[in-house]
Every structure is written in structure tokens, then in C-alpha cells.
Amino acid sequence: MSTILGFLVLLIPILIVAAIVGVGYYFWMKLRYRTARSNQALIITGPKLGDPEKESNIFTDDEGRSMKIIRGGGYRLKRFQTATPVNLTSFQLKLSTPRVYTNGGVPIVADAVAMVKVADTLNGIANYAEQFLGKDQDEIESEIIEVLGSNLRAILSKMTVEDINSNREKFNHDVQEIAQKQLDLMGFKITSL
């Protein structure tokens, strides 16, 4: 009887310590696990991201900097890694040009609405992360408005009023095509203009 009692006295503290360690490990893992929602991407930075040849979601630039981009799933962070969510939802921008002189010398003022979002590609998300993570949405929007507005003014100055009115689809296509090249470098995509 005393042997069983001695065994229980020894076993109970071991079970209590094991339970505390188990609960602590559970909460540690819960803190380290990140899940990307359907409208988000997670930018993982830090050491030991994985093998870029085996994993297609690791982006490495020309200077050797790398990041892992997780979309639609979860990831357990390793030591010294951080996860930053990026919102992939589109947002609306209102553009208004100051007085612009057309090819025929006629002054006009143009208004436009653009729907823009972070690009879907690995390269696009990486470009966005490098240039815009940590910036407020207002700062991001003002930079995009500046790019779209300057392209809108440039195209208006090359067209006549008749061209703008008669062929709006070509005008819209030209603005999107030219502006999209610059927005690609920023990590954004025009969904409609």
C-alpha cells in the first residue's frame, strides 16, 4: 500500500507538470500559427523560409532578399519570423484632372473612377510589400491617383475632343494599358476604369 501511495505521490506532480507544459505548448503553437483569409495574403519574413526550388511561394529578388507569400491557407511561424497580412480587396479611386489641352488646343477637365487592387501574382504582391507595407491607405491611394492622373492627362493631350467622345473604349484601353505598366512596378492592378 505504501508503495502505491509513494508511486502516486511521485506520479501526480509529474502529470501536473506535463499538463502545464502541454497547455503552454498549445498556446505557443496557437500564437505562432497564422491563417490567411480569402481576401488576404500573408507576407512571411525572417530566416529559414524554405527551399525556393521546391516551394513556389518564396520570392527572392536580385539582391538576395526573400519573403514567403501565403494565400488561402495557414503557416506556422518559425523562430524570428514575422507575418504581415496584405488586404487583396479592390478599392475605388476618384480621379479628376486639372485643365488639360487636347491635341486640338481645346481645354477640358476629365473625371474618372478606377477600381484598383493589389496584384494577384507572387511578383506583384512582393512589389507591393516592398514599397507599401506600413503605409496608411490614404498614402497608398494618393500615390496611385498621382500615377493614374498623370497618365490620364498625357493621353488626353494626345487626342482631340472628337476622338475622346467618339471612341471612349479606345481612350479607356489606352489609359489602362499605359497606367498598368507603371502600376505593375508598384504591385497593383486596375480592375476597371
Q: Three-state DSSP class for 78? A: coil
Q: Has residue 184 got a pLDDT over 80? A: yes
Q: Has residue 2 got a pLDDT over 70? A: no
Q: Out of 24-33, 34-43, 81-90, which region has the weakest mean confidence (pLDDT)?
A: 24-33
The arithmetic mean of pLDDT across residues 77-100, rounded, is 85
* pLDDT tens readout for residues 113-148: 889 999 888 888 888 888 888 888 899 999 999 988
Q: State how far the Cα of 163 lies from the Cα of 28, in Å rounded to an integer.
A: 63
Q: What pLDDT is stored for residue 157 in this prediction? A: 82
User: Helix 168-186 vs helix 137-158: angle between axes, to the nearest 10 degrees?
Assistant: 140
Q: Which amino acid is at 146?
A: E
Q: C-alpha cell of 153?
A: 492627362
Q: Record the pTM.
A: 0.72
Residue pair 102/164 in contact (Cβ under 8 Å)? The answer is yes
